[in-house]
Amino acid sequence: MSNGMSYEVLARKYRPQTFSELTGQEHVSRTLQNAIDSGRVAHAFLFSGARGVGKTSTARILAKTLNCEQGVSHEPCNVCPICREITKGTSTDVFEIDGASNNGVDDVRDLRDSIKYLPSHSRYKIIIIDEVHMLSTNAFNALLKTLEEPPEHVKFIFATTEPHKLPVTILSRCQRFDFKRVPVAKIIIRLREIADKEQVIISDSALALIARKGDGSMRDSLTAFDQVLAFCDSSVTDEDVVTLIGAVDPRLLADISAAVFSGDTQAVLAGIKKADMVGYNMRQFCQDLIEHFRNLLVIRSVKKPEEILDLADTELEELRRQAAGCSPQDIQRRLTLLIKGDAEMAFASFPRLILEMALLKAALLVPVIPINDLLEKLKVLEAGAVHTPVLPWNSDRPAASGGIAPGRTEPKQPAPQPAKAPQPAATSHAPKVQPHGSHSDWERFVAFVVEKCPAVGSVLEHGSPLKLEPGIMEIGFPGGSYYLTSAQDADSIKEIQTLAQEFSGTATSVKVRPIIPETGNQPQSLAEKKKSEQLQRTEALKQEVAANPLINKALSLFGGTITEIREK
């Protein structure tokens, strides 16, 4: 391998010199060769495509083929003086013009004047304009007439990465060829040929990393390969490649995705830490992870992933192995989380945290039970339900929680009858009450107060009727409570007296005193009574649900537990 000052970069040293050497553009080569064979060579060509895919190389090969001393044939001879001049770029009949720097109308006028003259010693004068979309509008207009009716001895070849920027008047006068991005597999084959010629020891996986770095551009891949060789000389390890070209190590992506699927949160965070320590840009790393999960998803979703994914055979096999235990739905749910994370990272000042959160969420996802499995289990349940005794609340059976989300059981109970607001007594006699007063009389009175004055009623609900007699009402409240203080207020007592008189038809003296609830010999307040009844009802419901054979069957089938029972 040459180490002198005259070192020629690989992209120039191994530039294709014949149509057969053009990698990944066979459709262009074949069409041009057919045109040459049949003598139907257009006077203007437009080569469009991404950078580094072979547009200018093809233009030179076509120029050599048309001017070769051996005659117009499938391939240039590359040995005659004319071929060698074009290869070196010294031919007087083949003009290579950079559209970016010669984009004025004057440049085009000079060109137009020079092409009137016959070629000095070739068959054709060939004008190659690179990055033709950079020409000014006036320059395009100056070119139009010449392009439509060029002299017999002139051929135009335009190259551009942005054909949409060309005026339609130019496009309609050219034969257009679209150059594709070069598939990774083909770039690897070409890199392997070059590695062998340069006597470099390098693995296929390292070449795959270099090829992927090129992103469909042969030139970019060769530039990356050059960078690696400049550092490593004749023996290259995978680690060297990862470090030098800043590619994300596929093993790290594999480790993190495996940790996500196994729910190993420790390994997930360790993987991100490692990526951060190596110095990967977090957003770029997230996008590489998205690409990785996308590859896994395609492999699990289609029969022939190799036709969809631009991957080397070794990479495809490795990804197949990784994707083996995952369902497409599982991969898709995690991919969605990463895409959301990537969108958030665009505006965040702490991208690592967002990536960590997205991956932790992905690792902790609860497995989804496929809907078909659920339907099957429900059919089994329904079949068994035919012989199950019907419950009073059969129309709304409690549901057990399955693996997806905790379900809620909601048995239906007969609705409690609302307390009717008592009518004021027609006579002046108050109801006959026991020494402590009847609880039902107290309930009726409180319901009456709630309707007339809700603020006082809500306080009385927490009081216990100590004495209810004609003309006397004694109410106890827990000592030191807010309700005691409220009820003892002079205005409250006055309000209660007025309401008691309205309710019973008799002037009533109202006393409020503290009680100690723990003693247990005082009657319950309505609030306590309600709470106690609610607890009893909940307990009864629990027992009813626990004894229900249909619910028990559902629990065992779905592997669920009852998390809550609510009354409708």
| Lowest mean pLDDT, pick from 37-46, 78-87, 121-130, 404-413 | 404-413
The count of other CB atoms within 10 Å of the CB of residue 128 is: 24
Select the more confidently predicted residue: 270 or 107: 270
The pLDDT of residue 390: 41
Helix (H, G, I), strand (E, B) or coil at 48: strand
Average pLDDT for 386-411: 43
CA distance 160 to 98: 11
> CB within 8 A of 465, min separation 6: which ones?
436, 437, 439, 441, 442, 473, 474, 475, 523
Residue 378 confidence (pLDDT) above 50: yes
| Lowest mean pLDDT, pick from 353-357, 365-369, 419-423, 480-484 | 419-423
Q: Which helix (H) or strand (E) holds 228?
A: helix 218-232
Q: What is the DSSP annotation of 410-477?
A: ----PPPPPPPPPPPPSSSPPPP--TT--HHHHHHHHHHHHHH-HHHHHHHTT-EEEEEETTEEEEEE
Q: Which residues of 57-80 are buried (b: 16+ CB within 10 A; e: fewer)?
A: bbbbbbbbbbbbeeeeeebbbeee
The pLDDT of residue 429: 41
pLDDT digits (tens, 9 = 90+) for 246-269: 777 888 999 999 999 999 999 999
Residues 484 and 466 sit within 8 Å (Cβ to Cβ): no
pLDDT digits (tens, 9 = 90+) for 318-334: 899 989 888 898 899 99
Under the banding of pLDDT at 50, 70 and 90, the label for residue 433 is very low
The pLDDT of residue 488: 87
Average pLDDT for 214-232: 90
List the one residue out of 148, 139, 130, 136 whose CA is nearest residue 108.
139
pLDDT digits (tens, 9 = 90+) for 45-54: 999 999 999 9
CA distance 381 to 555: 10
Residues 95 and 158 sit within 8 Å (Cβ to Cβ): no
Residues 66 and 155 sit within 8 Å (Cβ to Cβ): yes
The mean predicted confidence, pLDDT, of the chain is 83
Under the banding of pLDDT at 50, 70 and 90, the label for residue 521 is low
The most confident of 202-216, 259-273, 357-371, 499-513, by mean pLDDT: 259-273
CA distances 567 to 71, 409, 520, 527, 540, Å, are 95, 8, 30, 19, 12
The count of other CB atoms within 10 Å of the CB of residue 416 is: 9
| Lowest mean pLDDT, pick from 76-80, 208-212, 446-450, 480-484 | 480-484
Under the banding of pLDDT at 50, 70 and 90, the label for residue 519 is low
Residue 102 confidence (pLDDT) above 70: yes
Residue 119 confidence (pLDDT) above 70: yes
| Lowest mean pLDDT, pick from 104-113, 192-201, 373-382 | 373-382
Under the banding of pLDDT at 50, 70 and 90, the label for residue 438 is low
The 8-class DSSP code of residue 215 comes to T
**Percent of the residues in the chain that have a pLDDT greater than 70, as a whole number:** 88
Average pLDDT for 113-123: 88
CA distance 376 to 346: 44
pLDDT digits (tens, 9 = 90+) for 141-188: 888 888 888 889 999 999 999 999 999 999 999 999 999 999 988 999
Select the more confidently predicted residue: 4 or 77: 77
The phi, psi pair for 96, rounded to 5°, reads: -105, 115
Residue 33 confidence (pLDDT) above 80: yes
The pLDDT of residue 363: 93
pLDDT digits (tens, 9 = 90+) for 527-545: 888 888 888 888 888 888 8
Amino acid letter at 175?
A: Q
Ranges assigned E (strand) in 139-214: 154-160, 175-178
Domains of the chain, CATH where assigned: 10-178 (3.40.50.300), 184-245 (1.10.8.60), 250-363 (1.20.272.10), 439-531 (3.30.300.180)
Select the more confidently predicted residue: 193 or 544: 193
CA distance 208 to 189: 10
CA distance 32 to 60: 13
Under the banding of pLDDT at 50, 70 and 90, the label for residue 271 is very high
Residue 517 confidence (pLDDT) above 70: no
List the one residue out of 225, 223, 247, 221 whose CA is nearest residue 236.
225
Select the more confidently predicted residue: 411 or 315: 315
The pLDDT of residue 487: 87
The pLDDT of residue 525: 83
List the one residue out of 252, 244, 333 whose CA is nearest residue 288.
252
Select the more confidently predicted residue: 189 or 4: 189
> CB within 8 A of 377, min separation 6: which ones?
557, 558
Under the banding of pLDDT at 50, 70 and 90, the label for residue 391 is very low
pLDDT digits (tens, 9 = 90+) for 338-349: 999 999 998 889
pLDDT digits (tens, 9 = 90+) for 449-472: 999 888 888 899 888 888 888 888
pTM exceeds 0.75, yes or no: no
